[in-house]
Structure 1
Amino acid sequence: MTDIAPPSPSSSAEPAHDRQNLIARQPILDDKRAVFGYELFDRSTAAAAHTAASDAALLFNALSYAGSEALVGRKTVFINCTHESLKGPHLELIHPERVVLKVQTLGEQATPEQIGELLPVFESLRARGFRLAFNQEVLRRAYASWLPQAAYIKLDLLAFKPELAEPLIKFARSYSAAALVAEKVETAEQYERMAALGVRLFQGYWFAQPTVIQAQTIRPSQATIVQLINMVRQQASLTEIEELLKKDPTLSFNLLRFINSSGFGLSCEITSFRHAVMILGLKKLFRWAALLLTTSRNTGSPPAVGQTAVVRGRLMELLAAELLQPEDCDNAFVAGVFSLLDVMLGVSLEQAFESVALPQPVVDAVLHGKGVLAPFLELTRACESADEEAFARCAQALHLSNRQVNWAHLQALAWAENLDQDE
């Protein structure tokens, strides 16, 4: 794996460690007022701090933390990019069909050489399937070479006089195949004028102001992420990586939520850690972990709730091993760990489960208290309480002796206790 290098510290990413992730979205509508897509803005970072690192963090947080289905659904996402971030490895983690990269021009002082230097970057991105959006400055003569690269040209209605709209649109259609987006539409008159000129996509306060969404986050300790990065660099086995994911519920939760996000572009949901790693591959797993490291808080050991979740998952796995098939044992572990998602996220279990794909037996047990795993979860919860009557009833229902359950509980506690030593 010679193409994988360790992540370098980035001072520009440091502010993300201790701040909330605030992501604003503004809809882009078609001529029937239906939502075509959303443009995303990072409201956690001042405009002056817009960098390649902040671009990567915005896209990563949108897909990993904010619950991308709730944020953008299956719509097209427009992301503002610095020229540096167009070369960033974070773009390897997303499906090109889901994302439009919005690129600024270089300004009036740019030389022909500087403008030309970006053409190979644009061509490479388009070859990978990405679409590029430019503002109306790309219609200036100096940027003629960029026009064939444009999938979208955004016309800022506050940047030119109304009488210039028609010649700008005619010029854009003569020299590019780009779809035109009228942005900063603030009045009905502006909308009607641009619609009459054949523009079919619109964005602006007249339709909707940007709405701010606060990401719900649970983040692994940096020590655990570094351990994952080292395992990938050393080409650890799939089993070893899966074991690490099973030991840290925050790490596994973020991985499942990311790989099932709209930006990753899969047609089916991934519900097992092993399958997630196989789909992602070592190189992309490394990229994901490196980005997670730059956006995670520098906390010490995992919080108590994480420890409890791990014990619960391991105990359910051990108890299920006495009676169920191996696949059901894996699901038992997931059910135990993710039964505390409401506490970790600070929302209801129903809301928490909307943001991550999980096997149906897990959903049945945790949300509805039914199915093959439900009795094991009930017994595990009884083990955590001082209710001896509930403990005896649950153990008896599964035909497990007190000795079997107590021994499994001790093993689960010992396994979880070794977490800090393993890290």
Structure 2
Amino acid sequence: MSSTTEQNIPPADTAAPQEDVDASNMAVIARQAIVDHNRAVYGYELFDRSTASDAHTAASDAALLFNALSYAGTEALVGKKTVFINCTHESLAGGHLELIHPEKVVLEVPPLPDTATQEEIDQRVPVLQALCERGFRLALNQNALRKPYASWMPLASFIKLDLQTFKPELAGPLVKFASQYAKATLVAEKVETAEQFKMMSDLGVKLFQGFWFAKPSLVKATTIRPSQATIIQLINLVRKQADTSEIEDLLKKDPTLSFNLLRFINSSGFGLSCEVTSFRHAVMILGLKKLFRWAALLMTTSRDGAPPAVGQTAVVRGRLMELLAAELLPPEECDNAFVVGVFSLLDTMLNVPLEKALESVALPQAVTDALLHGTGVFAPFLELTKACESGDDATFARMADELHLSNRQINWAHLQALAWAEDLNGD
């Protein structure tokens, strides 16, 4: 659901210019490739560029991961590769990690401040152990090779060695020490020359990251976000353990909410083997606990304000198509008719071509055919719906005749759809 562009940016520890970022609807994520000895991409480390570099908090960690999976077009951003995410110790205990598939994500764990006591270091072990038991892999930096962190070492899947922090002659002893005391895969980072790459490769290091391979690239992703009022409605429904049908009704009333949910649940980070194409299926797959987590996190990254006029129009289209389809099609097709109507304005919501907008969400072929090609079973309903909207009497008459619907049936459905959409602000 995103329009993405990439460009080279300064090193990861240098903040991107803030004037380039429209915080209201732009997720800005930097990624840098991590490659193997053949220079094939193994994974990507992601950095949040939506906020200043010194604003790295548990909340920003959660927002980065959420944006990467929900907003920024995951396939374009990381594909099927492993994602490395920098974490704070606070965020390592965060509920947002319950939303993602552990096998897709490596959590980069920082050392504690130099003032930390041995007891404070050891107290972190249960949290790290629990993450490993859930299937996450942990990456530690070379500071964890120090004696106080001995209790952390068995939990490390990766150890990152920063070439800018030690002299070349110390590389051999450091690699030997790390290999001896940890079973982790070593990653040489901040590799800037061919000589550094060869040196570390000859020492048996398996993975590499740095400017010599690729500078971080900036991915700007246009986003659409529901109003907080709508998200609160969803949270309240989940908290009272409402029926799936009630939750489905709310999703139908807010195209931004439903689109974000389908986009998120079908992202590679969620780890499903099948595509979810209906709201009811999404709710059932996610379950109330994860749906609550998702809604709560979405609220932290949303912007306030009533649904825009285009969103209201999309809701009317969806409901009208659903009602018209109910006259002629089997019940299971009515939900798809609704999706066609709601998503027919995604290009306007996102300010990108509709084909691009639809790339990032799983939809049945019949829905895509109607939206992109004006063909298939739903196309006549969409054309009739647009004619109702625009007052195009000729098209209205032609499509009504083709579908064998009376003026009375269509006008009644249109009034019902308008009334239903108005309820969005009154629920």
Note whether the superposition's TM-score is higher than 0.5: yes
Q: Post-superposition shift, 1:19?
A: 6.7
Alpha-carbon contact 2:25-2:223 (below 8 Å) kept: no
Q: CA deviation at 1:17?
A: 7.0
- The residue aligned with 1:287 is 293
Query: Which residue pairs with 2:205 in the alignment?
Result: 199
Q: Does 1:49 align with 2:55?
A: yes
Q: Bigger CA drift: 372-381 or 90-99?
A: 372-381
Q: Is the 8 A contact 1:378 1:394 kept in 2?
A: yes
Shift of 1:120: 0.5
- Alpha-carbon distance in structure 1 between the residues aligned to 2:223 and 2:24: 12
- The amino acid that maps onto 2:405 is L
**Equivalent residue, structure 1, for 2:352:** 347
Distance, in Å, in 2 between the alignment partners of 1:148 and 1:316 is: 57
1:213 paired residue number: 219
CA distance in 2: counterparts of 1:29 and 1:408, whole angstroms: 57
How far 1:403 moved relative to its partner?
Answer: 1.6
> Deviations along 1:135-156, whole A, 9 cap, x unmatched?
1111112211111110000111
CA–CA separation in structure 1 for the residues paired with 2:25 and 2:127: 32
Indicate whether 1:251 and 2:251 are aligned.
Answer: no
Identity of aligned residues (%): 74
8 Å contact kept, 2:23–2:50:
no
Aligned twin of 2:30: 24
CA distance in 2, matches of 1:202, 1:37: 10
Q: What does residue 316 of structure 1 align with?
A: 321
Q: Distance in 1 between matches of 2:150 and 2:271?
A: 33
SS at match of 1:207: coil
In structure 1, distance between residues paired with 2:313 and 2:35: 46
For residues 19-44 of structure 1, give each alpha carbon's deviation from its aligned partner in whole angstroms, at most 9, with x where no partner exists.
73210000111111111100000011
- Give 1:229's aligned residue: 235
Give how far 1:110 is off.
Answer: 2.2
Deviations 1:40-88 (A, max 9, x none): 0001122211111111111111111111111111110000000111000
- 1:256–1:357 contact (8 Å) kept in structure 2: yes
Query: Which segments of 5 or more consecutive residues in structure 2 lack a partner in the other structure?
Result: 1-20
Equivalents in 2 of 1:126, 1:322: separation in Å? Answer: 53
Give a deviation string over 1:137-178, Cα, whole Å, max 9, x none: 111122111111100001111011111111111111111110
CA contact (8 A) 1:28 1:37 kept: yes
Cα contact 2:25–2:222 (8 A) shared by 1: no
Counterpart code for 2:320:
L
2:423 corresponds to 1:421: no
Residue 65 of structure 1 corresponds to which residue in structure 2?
71
The structure 1 residue matched to 2:389, chosen from 384, 388, 398, is: 384
Single out whichever of 385-394 and 111-120 deviates more from structure 2.
385-394
Choose from 145, 163, 180 the match for 2:151. 145
SS at match of 1:397: helix
* Aligned 8 A contact 2:319 2:417 in 1: yes
Residue type of the alignment partner of 1:296: S
Select between 93-102 and 357-366 the one with higher mean Cα deviation. Answer: 357-366
Residue 332 of structure 1 corresponds to 337
SS state of the match for residue 400, structure 1? coil
Q: Which residue number corresponds to residue 361 of structure 2? A: 356
C-alpha deviations, 1:233-272, integer Å up to 9, x for none? 1111100000000000000000001111111111111111
Kindly indicate whether residue 412 of structure 2 is the aligned counterpart of residue 407 of structure 1. Answer: yes
SS in structure 2 at match of 1:145: coil
* 2: CA distance, partners of 1:152 / 1:16: 35
Q: Which residue type is aligned with residue 302 of structure 2?
A: S
**Could you report, residue by residue, the CA deviation over 1:326-351 in whole angstroms, capped at 9, with x for unpaired residues?**
11111000010001111111111111
Q: Does residue 374 of structure 1 match 2:416?
A: no
Partner of 2:134: 128
2:180 maps to 1:174: yes
Aligned to 1:81: 87
| Partner in structure 2 of residue 118 of structure 1 | 124
State the SS of the aligned residue for 1:158.
Answer: helix
What code does the residue aligned with 1:284 have?
A: K
In structure 1, stretches of 5+ residues that fail to align are 1-14
TM-score in terms of structure 2 length = 0.93
Query: In the alignment, what sits opposite 2:276?
Result: 270
Mapped contact 2:29–2:50 kept (Cα < 8 A): yes
The alpha-carbon distance between structure 1 residues 148 and 220, as it changes in their structure 2 partners (threshold 3 A), is same
CA distance in 2, matches of 1:195, 1:93: 36
Amino acid at match of 1:414: A
- Please tell me whether the aligned partners of residues 321 and 337 of structure 2 are also in contact (alpha carbons under 8 angstroms): yes
Q: Judge conservation of contact 2:73–2:360 (CA < 8 Å) in 1.
A: yes
Instruction: Supply the distance in 2 between the matched residues of 1:385 and 1:249 (Cα, whole angstroms).
Output: 21
Q: Which amino acid aligns with 1:341?
A: L
The CA distance in 2 between the partners of 1:314 and 1:48, in whole Å, is 46
SS in structure 1 at match of 2:413: helix
Distance 1:278 1:82 in 2: 32
Quick one: distance in 1 between partners of 2:366 and 2:308?
A: 27
CA contact 1:24–1:212 (8 Å) conserved in 2: yes
What is the identity, as a one-letter code, of the residue corresponding to 2:128? F
Moved more, 104-113 or 305-314: 104-113
Give 2:400's aligned residue: 395
Q: When the two structures are aligned, how many residues end up with a matched partner? A: 407
In structure 1, C-alpha distance between the alignment counterparts of 2:412 and 2:93, rounded to whole Å: 53
Contact 1:335 1:365 in 2 (8 A): yes
